[in-house]
Amino acid sequence: MLCGFRKDIEKRLGIKIDKVSGGNSSVWDLIEKDMLPGCINEVRIGEAILLGNETTRYRPIEGAYTDAFKLDAEIIEVKRKNGKPYRIILALGMQDINFKHIKCYNPYLKIIGSSSDHTVMRVARKAVFDDIRVGGVITFRPDYFGVLSLMTSPFVKKIFLDP
């Protein structure tokens, strides 16, 4: 249909349309299979490039990096029971990122709440406790909307690594 619209507009109005943007990261499978309609010469593939995901099934794209963005949050408080951490508070909040858009690399830590400037995590009993200390860092993987929030937040320090 899009190719038809282009032809119709060019014919009726006598103008040439140079760019036909026909998709986003969700058309990655079609790109790989060389199945995009011939008139489409531009696609918006931010998530495919930035996070290495095609977005219909959220599968990693072969050869792409899925870990190009990481978020480190400082532990500012540790709550203990019987000498073991059970809750931690991070210097990270909704002003920085919605916690629904990050996933903790440590499977034994779960986000249980967030305020404007803090995030509270539950520590599972099986967690390794050596790293859970004030001043320590918890690392997260942001999704596409998380990257958007982090990159536009004036409260988040960005560090760019040279490959």
pLDDT tops 70 at residue 59: yes
Mean pLDDT over each residue of the chain, to the nearest integer: 92
Domains (ranges, CATH) in the chain? 2-51 (no CATH), 71-152 (2.40.37.20)
In the DSSP assignment, the letter for residue 112 is E
pLDDT tops 70 at residue 150: yes
Q: Give residues with Cβ within 8 angstroms of 112, minimum separation 6.
A: 120, 121, 122
Percentage, residues of the chain above pLDDT 70 = 97
pTM for the full predicted model: 0.83
> pLDDT tens across 20-32, in order?
998 999 999 999 9
What are 84's two structure tokens? 């073991």
Strands 84-90 and 119-123: antiparallel
